[in-house]
Amino acid sequence: MQEMIDSVTRFVAGEIAPHAAAVDRSGQFPEGLVPRLGEQGLLGLAAPAAFGGVEADLATFGACVEAVGRACASTAWLLLAHTMSVRALLIAGSDETRQRLLPDLVAGRRLGCAMAATEAGGGSNPLGIRTRARRDGKDWVLDGGKEFISLSGMADVYVLMARTGEPPPALGCFIVEKGDAGVSFGRREELLGVHGVPVGGIALSGCRLESSRLLGDEAGGLMVMGAAGAHGLVGAASAALGIASAALDDAGAHVKERVVAGAALASQPGVQAALGDMRIELAAARGMLVQAIRDIAGHKGPPLSLFAAKLTATETAVRIVDRCMALFGAAGYSRELPAERRMRDVRAFTIHWANNEVLRDTIRKASVA
C-alpha cells in the first residue's frame, strides 16, 4: 500500500495544504473537495473493491490520515467521521443497504458520519443515551436529540445510536439520512479548533425509519460502535501525530534560520535537547500505535493497547505542538504562522474519537481486574 500512501501525500501537498489556513479562518470546507477525496480513494480506504474502495489495512489507513493531518486537521476530522460510517455499514448493514449507500459514500457523492451518540447525559457513557427508538409495526420511530455531532447538517448519512428497550444496554444503531422527515439540525458550535467542519446538534421528532435502517441487532449498537471504533482510534492518533510531525519539522527549520546574539538558535544546547526529546517522544508514540495495530490484527483480546496508543499519541502531540510553538517566540502566537492553529486543532483529538479521560479510566480498571 506504499503507492497509495505516496499518492495521498502528493495529493495533500497539492490540494489540501495550500487551503488549510483559509479553511481555518473561514470555517468553510472547500467546495468540491469531498468528491476529490473520493476520487483519490481517501473516502474508501476502509471499503472493499466491490464498492469502489481501496481495501486498505489499518496501518495504511493510519498513514494516510497522518499525511492529511499534517496539512489540515479539519480534513482529517471529516475523513474519520466518514470512515466510521462506512465501517458501520460494512459491519452490520444489510446487503441492500450496502449496495444502496456505499458506492456513493466511497465515491464522495454522499458524505457519512458516525457514531452520532453524544447527548447531554450520554456519549462517552453510552448507557446514558436517552434518544429512543420504538417499534411501530415494521418501522422504527426515533425521538430525542444529539449534541456535538461531527458534520452535523453537512453529512448526508448518519449512523446514530438510540435506546431500543430496557435495560439501558439495549442500544441500536440506525441509519438516519439528511432528508428524513422528523430530522433537523441545531446551531453550529463555535469551537476552539477544527474550524473547517461543522459540529452541532441533531433533533429527532417522530422520525420514522424502515426496519432496514437498523444496523444489525436491535441491541447490538455497542458491538457496532466497538467494531467501527478501531478506525476512529487509529485515525485520531494518526492525525495528531501528523500535526505534531509538521510542527516539529517547522520548528527544526526555524531554529536553523533564527539568529539570536549572533548565533542560530539551533546551536544552543537547550534547543538541541528540546528538539531531540520531541523526536524521541514522537517516535515512541508512533511505535505504540504500530504495535497496537498489530495487536488488533492478531485478535489479542480487548483493544487496551489501542486505547493506550490513542491516549499517548494525542497527548504527546499536544506537548510537542506546544513546545514547538514556544520555539518561535512571539511569532508562534501569531495567526500568520500555522503554529497557533496546530495548537488549537490538536487538542480536539484528545477529546473526541474516544475521550482520553474515559480511555484512561478504562485502562486503570482493567489493570486491577
Q: Model confidence over 130-179: pLDDT tens digits?
A: 999 999 999 999 999 999 999 999 999 999 999 998 766 799 999 999 99
In angstroms, how far is CA 59 from the centroid of its own chain? 15
211 has pLDDT over 90: yes
Please tell me the pTM assigned to this model: 0.95
* DSSP string over 216-278: S-TT-HHHHHHHHHHHHHHHHHHHHHHHHHHHHHHHHHHHHH-EETTEEGGGSHHHHHHHHHH
End-to-end CA distance of the chain, in Å?
A: 39
Residue with the larger pLDDT of the pair 350 and 229: 350
* Phi, psi values for residue 145, rounded to 5°: -160, 155
Instruction: Output the pLDDT for position 298.
Output: 72
- With b for 16 or more beta-carbon neighbours within 10 A and e for fewer, the 9-37 pattern comes to bebbeebbbebbeebbeeeebbeebbeeb
Biggest CA–CA distance in the chain, Å, is 80
User: Which triple of cell numbers denotes residue 354?
Assistant: 474516544
| Residue 187: band (very low, low, confident or very high) from pLDDT cuts 50, 70, 90 | very high
Residue 6's contacts (CB-CB under 8 Å, 6 or more residues apart) are: none
What is the spatial distance between Cα 115 and Cα 224, in angstroms, rounded to a whole number? 9
What backbone phi and psi angles, to 5 degrees, belong to 280? -65, -45
Q: Which CATH topology does 113-218 take? A: Butyryl-CoA Dehydrogenase, subunit A; domain 2 (2.40.110)
Q: How many CB atoms lie within 10 A of CB 224?
A: 26
Cα–Cα distance measured from residue 119 to residue 125, given in angstroms and rounded to the nearest whole number: 9
Nearest residue to 8 via CA among 56, 74, 77, 47: 56
Residue for cell digits 495550500? 18
Cα separation, 169 vs 154, in Å, equals 30
Cell of 90: 460494512
Q: Residue 117 — very low, low, confident or very high, per pLDDT cuts 50/70/90?
A: confident
Locate all alpha helices (DSSP H) within 108-220, ordered by sequence.
Answer: none
Distance CA 176, CA 158 (A): 5
Looking up cell 447531554, which residue turns up? 120
Q: Residues 230, 306: contact at Cβ < 8 Å? A: yes
C-alpha cell of 67? 499525511
Is the omega angle on the peptide bond into residue 115 within 30 degrees of 0, that is, cis?
yes
Break the chain into its structural domains and give their ranges.
2-110, 113-218, 222-367
To the question of domain 2-110 being in CATH 1.10.540.10, the answer is: yes
Q: Give per-residue pLDDT as tens, 278-315.
A: 999 999 999 999 999 999 887 766 689 999 999 999 99
Residue 345 neighbours by CB under 8 Å, 6+ apart: 24, 73, 74, 193, 194, 243
Superfamily of domain 222-367: Butyryl-CoA Dehydrogenase, subunit A, domain 3 (1.20.140.10)
Q: Which residues pair with 172 in a beta bridge?
A: 162
